[in-house]
């Protein structure tokens, strides 16, 4: 149903073949990293670094690579059992392009119906910024109850928006390609549309299509040192987004008898943030790592509705600097469920089996406020409830032939994704940079 849309959820894996922008001389040496406080040894090859090792008597030499100019493709699929909504298998596809010139920089993720493009013009540490994104999936968005689609909740909707702004960017330790502090302020303007389908329930009354605009403050700090597969090895990253939005033309709307008034939902303020940290395990070698992820969001002003709520989704966990904000939950579809307030925490243990092969074990806990919960016994009835859930996953990240990469993960969710029913999924992704 959402195959092309899922392409953008492969962003992290796409960019695991090349991380973000250079803020220090390209391919800083391992000695430079160690001097800056990084944790380096011959056991763990670092992203972008030249590396040499011996396997079964054969000498392996990996040249240094430019992490600043990248064209990459990700292809794959996720299988669900039981079905997640109406889907048992969903393909994934995304194209990633990043390029830096003397004072210009661009980063683009293309996935047909869901795309995002960024451009920056630098004047020293100050930048002029532009951003364009669209979420225009032509298939219906349907809520899920007990693992099944609530067909009468079916709605087609989408957004297109452009941002213009300015920011400040400063390099930080350990001085690798993606280590910086960024503070950015945008004015954003766009268009929202929605439409009924043949399955939409009679008690669903949609708001009008409208222009929408507002302000967005964005802060990013990335102090992570990454390994050869672009996975966090050591350090801390954090960030936050504050978004104020007004719908130009708006009205009351109802979903399953529940009223969302224009006065409550026309203007809204959202704040979301994250902290990610990676560290070694005392008494064990560098091959053993703990990685923690914490994401949270609140809506202190206005009442979020189906179209303005935070959206959690699946795909590989975010590791690229510009993707760390993304709210991950193992086994989810892209933008699988909407919430007005949330906390999602994950603890990961990772083991380096070989210089190109990494095993991870993850446990995730999520709480979401005001999630949609439907009762269809006497027509479509909607209520908003708070719910929590746990998910567990095991996976492998591996180098592959022709300098490509494979990602394989099994996930189990207790009840959150299927809104009351447990389930499992298997995801396989292949990524290649050119």
- Using 50, 70 and 90 to split pLDDT, how confident is the model at 236? very high
Q: Please state, in angstroms and rounded to a whole number, the distance separating the CA atoms of residues 241 and 294.
A: 14
Question: For 380-392, what is the mean pLDDT?
Answer: 71
Looking only at the bridges linking them, the beta strands covering 232-247 and 267-280 are antiparallel
Give the pLDDT confidence score for residue 41 in this predicted structure: 54
CA distance 108 to 99: 9
Where are the chain's structural domains?
3-433
Of the listed ranges 220-234, 321-335, 343-357, 376-390, the one predicted with least confidence: 376-390
Alpha-carbon gap, residue 6 to 12, rounded angstroms: 12
pLDDT of residue 267: 96
Helix (H), strand (E) at residue 15: helix 11-15
Q: Please name the residues in contact with 110: beta carbons below 8 A apart, sequence gap of 6 or more.
A: 7, 94, 95, 96, 97
pTM across the whole model: 0.87
CATH number corresponding to 3-433? 2.40.160.50
Mean pLDDT of 77-88: 84
Q: How far apart are CA 315 and CA 293, in angstroms?
A: 15
Distance CA 389, CA 332 (A): 12
Across the range 8-37, mean pLDDT stands at 38
More confident residue, 303 or 207: 207
Distance CA 432, CA 63 (A): 17
Residue of 396, 398, 405 whose CA lies nearest to 433 = 405
Q: Is the pLDDT of residue 386 over 70?
A: no
Q: Could you tell me the pLDDT band of residue 412, with boundaries at 50, 70 and 90?
A: very high
355, 375 Cβ separation under 8 angstroms: no
CA distances from 20 to 37, 43, 391 (A): 20, 24, 29
Alpha carbons 110 and 49: distance in angstroms, whole number:
28
Write down the pLDDT at residue 217: 98
């Amino acid at each position: 149903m959402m195959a092309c849309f899922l392409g953008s959820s492969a962003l992290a894996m796409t960019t695991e073949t090349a991380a973000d922008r250079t803020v220090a001389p390209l391919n800083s040496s391992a000695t430079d990293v160690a001097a800056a406080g990084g944790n380096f040894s011959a056991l763990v090859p670092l992203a972008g670094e030249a590396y040499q090792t011996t396997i079964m008597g054969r000498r392996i030499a990996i040249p240094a690579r430019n992490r600043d100019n990248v064209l990459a493709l990700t292809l794959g699929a996720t299988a669900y059992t039981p079905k997640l909504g109406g889907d048992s298998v969903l393909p994934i596809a995304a194209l990633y392009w990043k390029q830096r010139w003397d004072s210009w920089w661009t980063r683009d993720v293309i996935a047909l119906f869901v795309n995002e493009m960024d451009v920056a013009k630098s004047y020293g540490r100050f930048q002029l910024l532009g951003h364009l994104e669209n979420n225009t999936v032509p298939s219906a968005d349907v809520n899920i109850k007990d693992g099944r689609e609530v067909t009468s909740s079916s709605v087609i909707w989408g957004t297109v928006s452009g941002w213009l702004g300015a920011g400040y960017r400063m390099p930080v330790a350990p001085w690798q390609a993606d280590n910086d502090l960024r503070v950015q302020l945008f004015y954003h303007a766009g268009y929202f549309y929605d439409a009924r389908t043949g399955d939409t329930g009679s008690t669903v009354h949609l708001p009008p299509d409208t222009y929408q605009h507002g302000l967005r403050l964005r802060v990013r700090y990335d102090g992570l040192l990454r390994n050869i597969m672009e996975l966090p090895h050591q350090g801390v990253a954090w960030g936050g987004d504050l978004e104020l939005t007004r719908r130009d033309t708006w009205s009351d709307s109802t979903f399953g008898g529940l009223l969302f008034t224009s006065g409550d939902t026309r203007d809204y303020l959202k704040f979301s943030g994250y902290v990610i940290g990676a560290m070694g395990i005392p008494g064990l070698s560098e091959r053993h790592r703990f990685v923690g992820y914490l994401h949270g969001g609140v809506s202190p002003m206005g009442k979020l509705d189906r179209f303005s709520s935070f959206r959690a989704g699946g795909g590989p966990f975010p590791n690229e600097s510009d993707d760390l904000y993304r709210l991950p939950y193992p086994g989810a579809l892209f933008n699988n469920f909407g919430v007005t307030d949330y906390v999602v925490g994950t603890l990961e243990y990772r083991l380096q089996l070989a210089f190109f092969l990494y095993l991870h074990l993850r446990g995730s806990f999520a709480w979401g406020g005001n999630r949609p919960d439907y009762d269809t016994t006497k027509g479509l009835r909607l209520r908003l409830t708070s719910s929590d859930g746990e998910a567990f996953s095991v996976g492998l990240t591996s180098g592959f032939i022709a300098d490509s990469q494979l990602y394989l993960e099994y996930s189990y969710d207790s009840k959150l994704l299927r809104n009351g029913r447990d389930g499992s999924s298997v995801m396989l992704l292949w990524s290649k940079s050119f």
